[in-house]
Chains A and B, each alone.
Chain A
Amino acid sequence: MSETLSLDERRPDADASAYALTARGLTKQFGGFHAVKNVDLSIRRGSIHALIGPNGAGKTTCFNLLTKTLTPTAGTITFEGRDITGMRAADVARLGLVRSFQISATFPHLTALENVRVALQSAYGKAFHFWRSLSAVEPLNARAEELLDRVGLAQSRNLTAAELSYGKKRALEIATTLALDPQIMLLDEPTAGMGHEDIEPITELIREAAKGRTVLIVEHNLSVVSTLCDRITVLQHGQLLTEGSYAEVSSNPDVITAYMGGVDDD
């Protein structure tokens, strides 16, 4: 640990200890096509960091690489000083790096409470107990209800996820993610497909959930990005275009050109 630190200190760009998640030379090829090419990314601990870019820029692919859903063709990923490039999603989740999905990822046949309880089971160590009744996991209910309450779903605890409105499904997903008490939360387009009435509360929810954690968020809605995020990375054609605060990024002429006709909603 001390050795990597001293190495990093010599690098002009980084005090490694300030970053929760870093990627170096991240590359993903599909056949001959570079979906992500040589991307360097450093997510400061405790910040809300946005990954934006026009459609097809490689945001989701980049996101999937960082969460170990895809294996990179080249490059390394470091999480809290640990090389996680070769690890699988389940293992990095246990280390505290947890993701959401662009397509709503609830368990439709389980109730809201069960959705969250499954996530809580992850650290509870009884998930293989097929001979026990559910009373074995009832101690988790209080915590699950607390999380549901936090995202405004206290009234819906016994509804199946399939019965919830779209906005509530996304809120349930956040509660499920929070159940793992992640150090870093990666959210893929949390407001995608939402009406205006849902966007405001979910933004508030993310801001609230981000307290004491690091958040990386892929987001299409620039007004959400401007109000929520401390730092923004812009991707284009799979490559890093620029990085900076919202004011810096939004006044960058390259970004303006890249977004010409590229913003297809809001």
Chain B
Amino acid sequence: MMTRILLLGVLAVLLIAAPFFAYPVTLMTILCFVIFACSFNLLLGYTGLLCFGHAMFFGSAAYVTGYLLKTTGLSLELALLGGAGATALLGLFVGLIALRRSGIQFAMITFAIAQFVYFLLLRAPFTGGEDGMQSIPRSALFGVFDISSSFTFYYVVLGITVLSVWFFYRIVHSPFGEVLKAIRDNDQRVESLGFKPERFKLVAFVLSAALAGLAGGLKATVFQFATLTDVSFPISSEVILMTLLGGLGTLSGPIVGAGIIILLNDYLADFGEWALIAQGVILLLVIMFFRRGVVGELDRVLRKIRARRAS
């Protein structure tokens, strides 16, 4: 308990001091993907659903939030909520269709719908097509606080991320989360205990979509543009990689995974295709040697040390 509080304290100091030492936009990108990875983890790690098109929520919320900021002059937090709300609705729609199937079929349906959403956004009049949506304004937070500088904005993004991770934590450690984990382990058994698993999966799917939408909207305000890349398949696969690399079904794993992948992309950005090749190699290594992911393996080693010390 003491060590946990200490760790959290150190983490808090690091997060607050970070923009003095690192490029705020990179840090904010990591934070956006931390939220995105949590939303994905809720499905794959805690419900057992592999969504193969999670970028559709991330990307479409980027457009919706961007559009709201550009045309309505809403304050930042309302525009973000608008984006998340829109993707929650999209999630409800996709969930109602895709959850009729399970396993690989579910994954393929989400993939197909995501491709369709990509196509719609490519053609929609308000998205700017191939060029994307440019110069999205960072309206004042709550209509009063100026957040145009990236340095200040970092702390806003940090705050939203902390709230999102806490929200994710709350879901996973709630009465609902307990049933979700049971569904992930054995959904037939859950049904035999008098629950209708598909309803729980649908709620989880909508919550996940909303969280992914918040991440996407936030990213649009960080970069002040939204592009088709945000809705594209590589984003969907990147979040899978983050989750597996960090540790599936662990609370902090996907968060760590998001950090590693974004930093890696950043370092390898000048080397073109190398970022993709590196991702492929990492995925291979994780699947072959580190099934539990970074956090999962670390946890195992720590447990072993503790057990040895105890004996």
Contact = CB atoms under 8 A, between A and B. Distances in A.
A and B: bona fide binding partners: yes
Interface of A: 67, 69, 88-91, 93-94, 98-99, 101, 105-110, 114-115, 117-119, 121-124, 126-134, 136-137, 176, 179-180
Given A101-B189, A107-B182, A128-B200, A134 B194 contact: no
Given A93-B194, A107-B189, A122-B195, A130 B181 contact: no
Contacts of A128: 175-176, 199-200, 203
A176 to B, nearest CB: 7
B98 to A, nearest CB: 20
Contact of B192 (A98, A115, A124): A98
Interface string B177-204: 1110110111011111111100110010
Nearest to A126: B175
Interface string B4-34: 0000000000000000000000000000000
Interface in B195-236: 195-196, 199-200, 203, 207
A114 B178 contact: yes
A133 to B, nearest CB: 6
B170 interface: yes
Interface in B151-188: 170-171, 173-179, 181-182, 184-186, 188
B185 A109 contact: yes
B174 A133 contact: yes
Contacts of B203: 128, 130
Given A98-B193, A108-B185, 11 more contacts: A69-B188, A90-B192, A91-B194, A101-B188, A106-B185, A106-B186, A118-B178, A118-B193, A126-B175, A132-B174, A133-B173
Contacts of B176: 127-130
Pick the most buried of B175, B196, B207: most chain A CB atoms within 10 A of its CB: B175
A123 B175 CA distance: 13
